Structure formats: C-alpha cells, structure tokens
Structure 1
Amino acid sequence: MTERGPGQAPDHSALYVFAVCDAPDPAAFAGLPGVAAGEPLRRLPFGELTAIVQTVRAADFTDEVWQARMADRDELERYARAHHDVVSAVAASCPTVPLPLATLYHGEDRARQALLDETERFRTALERTAGHSEWGVKVYAAEPPVTDPGPAPPRPETPAGRSRPAPGAGLAYLERKRGVQARRERRHEDALRLAETVDASFGMIAAAGRRLRLHAPELVGKGRVQVLNATYLVAEDRGAALQELIRTLRDATGARIEVSGPWVPYSFVGQV
C-alpha cells in the first residue's frame, strides 16, 4: 500500500496514513505531533470507515531517505514512537486497525481509493479485534552448566615404557560423555514441554495467538534460555483471568515468564 519513490520535489506533499477506524473522536489525537511537526492530524473518510492521516513532505520519505533513516536507530525509534502514539490514542477511543510504519500515498484521492479497495479486510479486522488487546509473552528456563566429562584418565606406563589403558577407564569416560549428552537432551525436551504448556494455557483464554521466532542467545542473557516468544489476542474483560493465569504458571513451572501489554493488536489485524 505504500507509495514511495525517488526524486520527489522538496515542496511535493504526500499523505501519511496511521490507522483505519470506526468513528474516531478528534479529541483523542488532538495536539499529537505525528511524524511531521506543524502539520495537523486529521480524518479522511472513505466509505463507512475513517483513516487518520497527516500531510508530510514526500522528499522526507523517498526510498533513499527512508533506507538511511532505518539505519539510524535513534531516528527510526523516533518515527516508530510517533506513529505508535497516534495509533494508541485513536485505539483508546474506538476499534482501530493500525497501518504499517510509513504508509504513504501521493494525494488524498489515491489514498481514498486504495483504502476503499481494502474496506472488506479492514472491516473484518475491526470486528475481530474490537474489545481485545495484544499481550506479549516470553518464557525463559534456567540453563544449568553442562558438566564436562573431562579428558580420558591417564594410562599407566608398562615396564617396557609403553602405556596401556587403565582397566575400564575408556568405558567410564564414554559413560560420562553419554550422561552429559542425555542431560542436554532432557533439558531440550523439558524446554519444549514448558513452551507447549504455557502456549496451551494462554490459548485457553485468548481469542488468537502467534508464536514468534525465539531470540538469539546473545540477546537473552547468560544463564538462561528463551523457550517461548509469543503474542496473544485477549478480550479486555478477561484481564483478571489473564493475571491469575500468569501467577499460576509461574508457581507451577518455576520458569521466568515476562508479560507485556496491553497493546494495540498490531500482530492480528493482518490475519484476516
């Protein structure tokens, strides 16, 4: 849906679209700067729905400029936060479908037609996520140190100066090595069971769920391993049940369970 291109004139404008919603309250986003200081946020009706938009300089969103911005962590975070602030404010007043960061069109007519073409998808997403929030769940298991079986025991010297294995030494070494491997395999199986237990438990109270890619070990921290990275769509009236489930799982599993939210359901508006 994003229209972006090189070589836009400095004074050429584009329309940045933050979200699509039902009957938004203008007071919900009044005063927010959006992504273009000095340009007011406004509503753009299309059919029975409304988009929240802002006029921006097209030259600020060419492919070249946007790629450079994505390479600058601070700058990208600034835009992402500004986008999220608008979406969150609107979602607090009515059911909302957030659009991806930097969704732009060259003019209101093109934006309105493109959004009209997606009306059915937006309507389905609004109906699915109304009254729901997104919750992120990360589960970590302790990673105990692996015992090294150590080198094979030294072999005693024979009278002739030749060494020979101590009786049973090689077998004992292999048994220790097999024991280390068996413990690794058991920990892996335990981690899988823990992930399935937590995921199934959240699935019982969530309207939908998504399991995401696990974080790399270097991002998780020393001494623990991430076994589940997931997000769930939970009805707002099930907040108490959610908190009780978290306490129960922590007590029952002993695992570290990190929960974040509630969020606007970014992860579930595209699954329609």
Structure 2
Amino acid sequence: MGELLYLYGLIPTKEAAAIEPFPSYKGFDGEHSLYPIAFDQVTAVVSKLDADTYSEKVIQEKMEQDMSWLQEKAFHHHETVAALYEEFTIIPLKFCTIYKGEESLQAAIEINKEKIENSLTLLQGNEEWNVKIYCDDTELKKGISETNESVKAKKQEISHLSPGRQFFEKKKIDQLIEKELELHKNKVCEEIHDKLKELSLYDSVKKNWSKDVTGAAEQMAWNSVFLLPSLQITKFINEIEELQQKLENKGWKFEVTGPWPPYHFSSFA
C-alpha cells in the first residue's frame, strides 16, 4: 500500500521556516495533517493520501458520481488554501493536484523552479481582488428606449405607418433595443475595467456566471480579477464605491471581494 501527496500550494521556504511549529490543518482525507516539504527556496504544502483509496480512477468516479463528496472536498481545498494564504505568500494549486511521491513532486518543482520563484516574488505585497458587475436589464432597456439615438430614429421612422405595419416594425424595435442593450453594457463595463486596471499590476476578464449560480436578481454583466499592490487597495475600493453611487440609479450594481488566494495570477502545472 503506497502513499500519494496532495499538493495545496507552494510558499517561500523562508516564510515557512519563520513559523514554528507549522500551522496544523487536517488534510484531504480528514486523517493526515498538512506538512511542509522544502525544496531549496520553495516549500510545498502537502498531505498524505492512501494510494488505493485515492487513486486517479477512484477520484474520477467520485467526481462523476458523488456530488456531495465533490462539494465537501472542493470546500475543504478552498478553505485550506484560504487559511494558508492568511499566513504565507502562496501559489495555490488547483483542486486535486496529486503526486505519486516526493520525488515526482520535486521533479515537477525543479522543471518549473524559475517560474515558481518569479511568481512568489511577484505575489509578495500584492493581493488578488474580484469585481463583479451586475445590471438590471429592465431598467437599462427603459433608458435605451428613451434616449438611444438609433432607437429614437427607428420609432420616428415607423410613426407614420399604418397600425398593422407598426405592429410588425415594433418587434424590430424590440430586437434593436436588445442589440443596443448588449453594446451599452459592454461599453460601460469595458470603460470601468480600464479605469480600475490603472490601479493594478495585472488584470483578467473571466466568464460571467448565470443567475442560477449567483442567486442574484440582476444579470451579471462583467466578471474580472485584479492583482493589486497593497497600497492601492483602499483607493481601488473607494473607486468602486463611487461608481456604485454614480450608477446604481441607472440599474448597475457592483460587488467587490478579496483578498483571495491568487489563483488567477500564479500558475503551476
């Protein structure tokens, strides 16, 4: 019966050595605890797993067939990485990053050593923050219907038609409003993103979430992440609060959260 290593993240060895004893957290199997393995300047935070119980085949079957197991383990991974992030500069690893042993892990770190060390240097003193922008489509459509020049021109164009013709042309106006709505949403969000990224080191636009995922009444129009210098955090949050005050009566809503473990600005395969 062999053992596997579940990798949570990579941290600077000097930071790991500065905290004694190493923080105690339960591992992926709920039995073994997390512990550090130093590889020169990089330390891996891992926990042991039974090779039979947590083989690739078994985990794949669990992911596909046992949603409660998947949710429990994914939550454990997220919470553990978040706890480590409070203590250390960390490159967080994706859920279920597992190695066959210490030699396999060391080989992977050696291959990516320069990239890892550069990432850790980049992340020190910087934080990942997420900004989600929501909008009330009904409220925005109302404004577009009343003020958009293309829509106003189309309404004027059909105003002299017979009632029968107007009925069909109004459907085209509805389609035009939908088109202008999307253009307007993208324009506003892009302008906001460009303004916010001036305060950041790096930025990225992510896929929007559906209402089923967010549980929000409004539609998500933008989802972005920023790597911010610690000194810019307050200014960044104040900027968003000002945008909220300026745009909330026009159907816009902002959600800013952080800091998060820097999943989007530190990759390690």
What band does the TM-score fall into relative to the shorter chain?
A: 0.7 to 0.9
Secondary structure at the residue paired with 2:49?
strand
Counterpart amino acid of 1:117?
A: I
Query: For residue 21 of structure 1, what is the aligned residue in structure 2?
Result: 11
Counterpart amino acid of 1:133?
A: E
Query: For residue 262 of structure 2, what is the aligned residue in structure 1?
Result: 265
Q: Distance in 1 between matches of 2:166 and 2:100?
A: 74
Query: For residue 35 of structure 2, what is the aligned residue in structure 1?
Result: 42
Counterpart amino acid of 2:266?
A: V
Q: Distance in 1 between matches of 2:117 and 2:127?
A: 17
Aligned pair partner of 1:12 in 2, 7, 20: 2
Give the structure-2-normalised TM-score: 0.80
- 1:190 equivalent to 2:187? Answer no
Query: For residue 164 of structure 1, what is the aligned residue in structure 2?
Result: none
Residues 143-158 of structure 1 aligned to structure 2 (within 5 Å): 143-144=137-138
Does structure 1 conserve the Cα–Cα contact (< 8 Å) formed by 2:116 and 2:268?
A: no
Q: Distance in 1 between matches of 2:79 and 2:219?
A: 32
Aligned pair partner of 1:113 in 92, 107, 129: 107
Gap change, CA 1:136 and 1:28, over 3 Å in 2: farther
Counterpart amino acid of 1:181?
A: Q
Gap change, CA 1:173 and 1:62, over 3 Å in 2: same
Residue by residue over 1:156-199, the C-alpha shift from the partner in whole angstroms, topping out at 9 and shown as x without a partner, is xxxxxxxxxxx823332244223322322221221111211221
- Tell me the CA shift for residue 250 of structure 1: 0.7
- 1:172 equivalent to 2:169? Answer no
Secondary structure at the residue paired with 1:133?
strand
- Tell me the CA shift for residue 36 of structure 1: 2.8
Gap change, CA 1:138 and 1:169, over 3 Å in 2: same
Aligned pair partner of 2:208 in 214, 218, 228: 214
Gap change, CA 1:33 and 1:218, over 3 Å in 2: closer
Does structure 2 conserve the Cα–Cα contact (< 8 Å) formed by 1:211 and 1:230?
A: yes
- Identify the range of structure 1 (82-91 vs 44-53) with the bigger mean alpha-carbon deviation: 82-91
Please provide the CA RMSD for this pair.
Answer: 2.5
Query: For residue 69 of structure 2, what is the aligned residue in structure 1?
Result: 75
Gap change, CA 1:222 and 1:96, over 3 Å in 2: closer
Gap change, CA 1:199 and 1:173, over 3 Å in 2: same
Gap change, CA 1:39 and 1:225, over 3 Å in 2: closer
Aligned pair partner of 1:97 in 70, 91, 98: 91
- Tell me the CA shift for residue 218 of structure 1: 4.6
Give the structure-1-normalised TM-score: 0.79
- 1:256 equivalent to 2:256? Answer no
Q: Distance in 2 between matches of 1:100 and 1:28?
A: 26
Does structure 2 conserve the Cα–Cα contact (< 8 Å) formed by 1:28 and 1:90?
A: no
- Tell me the CA shift for residue 45 of structure 1: 1.2
Instruction: Give the total of aligned pairs.
Output: 243
Query: For residue 145 of structure 2, what is the aligned residue in structure 1?
Result: none
Gap change, CA 1:218 and 1:116, over 3 Å in 2: same
Does structure 1 conserve the Cα–Cα contact (< 8 Å) formed by 2:91 and 2:267?
A: no
Gaps of at least 5 residues in structure 1 are: 1-10, 148-166
**Rg larger in 1 or in 2?**
1
- Tell me the CA shift for residue 28 of structure 1: 7.7
Query: For residue 153 of structure 2, what is the aligned residue in structure 1?
Result: none
Does structure 1 conserve the Cα–Cα contact (< 8 Å) formed by 2:128 and 2:259?
A: yes
Gap change, CA 1:46 and 1:89, over 3 Å in 2: same
Fraction of identical pairs, as percent: 22
Gap change, CA 1:53 and 1:26, over 3 Å in 2: farther
